[in-house]
Structure 1
Amino acid sequence: MSPAGVLAFSAAFCLLVIVAGLAASLASWVGYEPAPYRMIEAADGFELREYPDLTLVKTRREDDAAAFMRLAEYLHGFNAAHRVMTMTIPIFSLGDSMGLVLSGCRPDNAPPPLSTGLSIDTLRPGRVLVSRVQGRLTRDQEKIIISQMEAWLERQGLQKSVRPLMHVFYDPPWIPDVFRRSEIMLAVEERR
């Protein structure tokens, strides 16, 4: 094959990989039920949202892929009721735990997990400021974004809450980083 042919083949292959990655990323979260929230304001690349209390099945997050699989097994019927449940998005990451919203469940009626590595809990996000992130986030990038979020809150006369920072993910761990969609959620104090 001539050098021009190799170059054309390589360019076509790269384009195919990019299109396939984008399609896989879109397909990974299209059709799943999102966690409910109310949009309060969208400005300057941020969203101010209000979330109700959410019932989660959660697990320790020592390894993202293993944690995600434990949560998926629960949804696919590995629970005391052997009930298959609807997958929701996003996946909430809070410190060393990862959790999925259980649509239509409360802690008192969610099927108990069969795995000792899972628990049912209530997440109370309340009012949060959200910044959407494309790809994998470095610690330095995260610090910059959080600083920008804090400055935005100050300009709006709002204050960051002492509640912990949350990360949310819309894609399973096997989606390549460049195609991943995630968000940083900073808890906001309620106005008095």
Structure 2
Amino acid sequence: MRSRLATVVAATAGTFLVGWIGWGVYSARTTERVPYDVLESGDGFELRRYPETVLVETTDDDGTDAFRRLFRYIDGENAASDEVAMTAPVRTGRGEGESVAMTAPVRTADRGDGPVTMAFYLPPSYSKTSAPVPTDPDVRLVVEPPRTVAVRRFSWLATDRRVEARRRVLVAAVAERGLEVRGEPALLQYNDPWTPPFMRRNEVAVTVG
């Protein structure tokens, strides 16, 4: 009896694990990503060139509230009532970007004290004049000009300690190369919350000159 129960439990767990991994693969392959060109790799980071991109951004004391606010925007809470495809990564950080009035990855700015600024990259098909205008006054559209970015990638959960450790390594590696850091580092997250931790793609990134 115990042997049969153990077999059933093992089979159930195995089925769940396969389904969980399958979801992670499906999500990664079907989510549109911000385009970029790799300029070089090595020395502790990857150097990329990004084109001009449009983001929808908000600032809040709580990251969960910020995410929900942005999700409502792409779910149709905008002047055009358009549903906007989710694009990876999501960016999170501290501070604000340059706002673009009446226009249209998760990005999170470097973690630390103060409010969280989170941004969703809009699909490349949107320009600064065609993206739906937010109806929530706490949500804004932002345009990032073409830029060169240094990135260090890591997997599993993006805890404060792990992000800070990789941020320090990235900044030190960039300084050793003689590149000038412009602005604060940001956390880029490419997966939804249901993706297995060992399949997640996270990056710390900083614009360089």
Q: State the TM-score, normalizing by the size of structure 1.
A: 0.80
**Residue number in structure 2 paired with 1:185:** 205
**Residue number in structure 2 paired with 1:161:** 181
- Output the amino acid matched with 2:119: G
The 5-angstrom pairing of residues 1-192 of structure 1 reads 1-2=1-2, 4-43=3-42, 46-95=45-94, 96-103=116-123, 104-124=125-145, 126-154=147-175, 157-175=177-195, 177-188=197-208, 190=209
- 1:176, distance to aligned residue in structure 2 (A): 5.2
**Secondary structure of the structure 1 residue equivalent to 2:41:** strand
- 1:122, distance to aligned residue in structure 2 (A): 1.9
Q: Given that residues 54 and 122 in structure 2 are in contact (C-alpha distance below 8 angstroms), is that contact kept between their aligned partners in structure 1?
A: yes
- 1:133, distance to aligned residue in structure 2 (A): 1.9
- 1:179, distance to aligned residue in structure 2 (A): 4.3
- Output the amino acid matched with 2:36: Y
Gap runs ≥5 in structure 2: 95-115
Counterparts of 1:170 and 1:105, CA distance in 2:
20
Q: 1:135 to 1:37 in 2, by over 3 A?
A: same
- 1:77, distance to aligned residue in structure 2 (A): 2.3
Question: Mean Cα displacement is larger for which, 51-60 or 66-75?
Answer: 66-75
- 1:174, distance to aligned residue in structure 2 (A): 4.5
- Output the amino acid matched with 2:134: P
- Output the amino acid matched with 1:159: L
**Residue number in structure 1 paired with 2:111:** none
Q: 1:46 to 1:85 in 2, by over 3 A?
A: same
Q: 1:154 to 1:108 in 2, by over 3 A?
A: same
- 1:8, distance to aligned residue in structure 2 (A): 3.7
- 1:125, distance to aligned residue in structure 2 (A): 7.2
Q: State the TM-score, normalizing by the size of structure 2.
A: 0.74
**Secondary structure of the structure 2 residue equivalent to 1:165:** strand
Question: Mean Cα displacement is larger for which, 91-100 or 121-130?
Answer: 121-130
Question: Mean Cα displacement is larger for which, 130-139 or 175-184?
Answer: 175-184
Q: 1:116 to 1:139 in 2, by over 3 A?
A: same
Q: Given that residues 75 and 83 in structure 2 are in contact (C-alpha distance below 8 angstroms), is that contact kept between their aligned partners in structure 1?
A: yes
Gap runs ≥5 in structure 1: none
Identity %, equivalent residues: 28
Q: 1:31 to 1:87 in 2, by over 3 A?
A: same
Counterparts of 2:137 and 2:196, CA distance in 1:
30
Q: Given that residues 128 and 143 in structure 2 are in contact (C-alpha distance below 8 angstroms), is that contact kept between their aligned partners in structure 1?
A: yes
- 1:124, distance to aligned residue in structure 2 (A): 4.5
Question: Mean Cα displacement is larger for which, 42-51 or 93-102?
Answer: 42-51
- Output the amino acid matched with 1:31: T
RMSD: 2.7
